[in-house]
């Protein structure tokens, strides 16, 4: 090898080594709510694309996945300690709490520059905001709908259409009871667990009521109204007909095990059935029963939001990673696999994303009809206390302690005090 060639080779090696050494190593951090599998698929896929966009960097992510209650506790701890985090998952009802505390970064400017927020359903756009500013993006959702076992309804002579109205629903119970009880199956499920307000809100909304109202920038209770009393009276009527409130809740497993003929439960219920189950055995109505035929139904949406803490050490990369995670190409396979519903019209209504979800999620088209009539809960910091006051009111009506009017009047006073102080 000539001296010139040798020198050139050495220089090449030195330059190449310098370039390799110049690659910046970046470690992003995150805290997410279980289950872990969804994050273990979504995050690596998004990181792969992020690294392609930044060849000058070697970007990895260290993240923890915690149970639901532990996630909120951990976020409170992170807030108090001002601990750095780049990306977190937030339950929709936590948003106000963590935005107001200063834990979450205001991403309004980033969202407006992004140009894709118009592709999301309006309710999910509003649910991503606190105080009219974006602190998150509602990434996927779920809806509560009416599920039933076809064979049990047929045996009892119940037309599924009966389940669509309040009177029909109670009449269906009376026809189901003598048939299913002999089999050890309860006719209908009524939530008596801690989240019972979630199952009352749609009845409030369909009657034109609201949980809260805003006047001059301040929130006030609005549920103590004709609509609220009427909605709570329907829960009372179910109990008086013989439907027992279920204090223990297994999030749809009890329906999948065929321990109930009819259950109003979230779309996540589909994930409780064994692999290979024939979904033609069950039916679904996209919403809650309505007071009268022809009225528009309602439902409640849940789901998860992605947000960037104000303590992020890499906010620009965190935002870019979030947008990649929300890209239809990246997000759709995860939605399909874990039976999550899209908050983006692009995914729900356009191929190939729509056809992918239709082939993987039973009842997908009807579930999206429920998304269109769904609403979210108030995401103000006081919401957990408000929900507890309403839970007590519902329980008082269930067990005959108070009338619907008295229970809501008392709850309204409590909530007013909560909001004032």
| CA separation for the pair 55, 73 (Å, rounded) | 37
- Do 147 and 284 form a contact (C-beta atoms < 8 A)? yes
Residue 304 lies in a domain: yes
Same domain, residue pair 150 and 281: yes
Residue 78 belongs to domain with CATH number: 3.40.190.10
Residue 5 lies in a domain: no
Q: What is the pTM of this model?
A: 0.92
Same domain, residue pair 134 and 168: no
**Which residues 6+ apart lie within 8 Å of 6 measured at CB?**
none
| CA separation for the pair 122, 95 (Å, rounded) | 17
Same domain, residue pair 272 and 307: no
pLDDT in tens, 90-137: 999 999 999 999 999 999 999 999 999 999 999 999 999 999 999 999
Same domain, residue pair 272 and 365: no
Residue 18 lies in a domain: no
pLDDT in tens, 223-265: 999 999 999 999 999 999 999 999 999 999 999 999 999 999 9
Same domain, residue pair 188 and 292: yes
pLDDT in tens, 208-224: 999 999 998 899 999 99
Encoded tokens for 341:
């519903």
| CA separation for the pair 211, 209 (Å, rounded) | 7
pLDDT at 22: 75
pLDDT in tens, 281-320: 999 999 999 999 999 999 999 999 999 999 999 999 999 9
- Do 235 and 118 form a contact (C-beta atoms < 8 A)? no
Confidence of residue 15 (pLDDT cuts 50, 70, 90): very low
Same domain, residue pair 163 and 247: yes
Number of domains observed in the structure of the chain: 2
**Which range of residues forms the domain containing residue 136?**
25-140+300-373
Residue 6 lies in a domain: no
| CA separation for the pair 137, 305 (Å, rounded) | 5
Same domain, residue pair 113 and 187: no
């Amino acid at each position: 090898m000539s001296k010139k060639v040798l020198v050139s080779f050495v220089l090449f090696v030195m330059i190449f080594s310098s370039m390799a050494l110049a690659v910046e190593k970046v470690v992003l951090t995150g805290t997410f709510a279980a289950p872990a599998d969804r994050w273990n698929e979504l995050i690596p896929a998004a990181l792969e694309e992020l690294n392609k966009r930044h060849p000058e960097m070697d970007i990895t992510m260290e993240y923890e996945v915690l149970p639901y209650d532990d996630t909120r506790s951990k976020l409170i701890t992170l807030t108090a300690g001002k601990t750095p985090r780049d990306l977190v998952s937030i339950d929709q009802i936590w948003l106000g709490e963590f935005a107001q505390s200063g834990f979450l970064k205001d991403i309004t400017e980033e969202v407006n520059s992004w140009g894709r927020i118009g592709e999301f359903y309006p309710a999910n756009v509003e649910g991503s905001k606190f105080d009219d500013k974006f602190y998150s993006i509602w990434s996927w959702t779920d809806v509560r709908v009416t599920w039933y076992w076809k064979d049990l309804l047929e045996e009892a002579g119940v037309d599924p259409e009966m389940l669509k109205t309040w009177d029909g629903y109670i009449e269906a119970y009376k026809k189901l009871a003598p048939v299913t009880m002999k089999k050890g199956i309860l006719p209908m499920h009524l939530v008596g667990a801690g989240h019972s307000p979630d199952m009352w809100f749609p009845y409030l909304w369909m009657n034109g009521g609201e949980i809260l109202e805003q006047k001059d920038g301040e929130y006030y209770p609005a549920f103590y109204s004709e609509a609220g009393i009427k909605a709570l009276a329907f829960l009372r009527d179910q109990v008086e007909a013989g439907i027992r409130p279920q204090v223990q809740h297994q999030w749809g497993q009890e329906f999948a095990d065929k321990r109930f003929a009819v259950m109003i439960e979230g779309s996540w219920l589909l994930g409780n059935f064994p692999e290979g189950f024939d979904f033609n055995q069950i039916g679904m109505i996209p919403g809650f029963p309505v007071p009268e035929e022809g009225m528009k139904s309602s439902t409640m949406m849940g789901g998860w939001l992605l947000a960037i803490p104000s303590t992020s050490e890499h906010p620009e990369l965190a935002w870019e990673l979030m947008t990649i995670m929300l890209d239809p190409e990246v997000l759709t396979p995860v939605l399909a696999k874990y039976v999550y519903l899209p908050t983006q019209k692009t995914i729900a209504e356009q191929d190939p994303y729509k056809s992918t979800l239709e082939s993987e999620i039973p009842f997908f088209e009807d579930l999206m009809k429920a998304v269109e009539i769904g609403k979210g809960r108030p995401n103000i910091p006081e919401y957990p206390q408000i929900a507890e006051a309403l839970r007590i009111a519902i329980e008082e009506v269930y067990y005959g302690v108070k009338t619907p009017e008295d229970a809501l009047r008392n709850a309204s006073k409590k909530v007013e005090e909560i909001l004032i102080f």
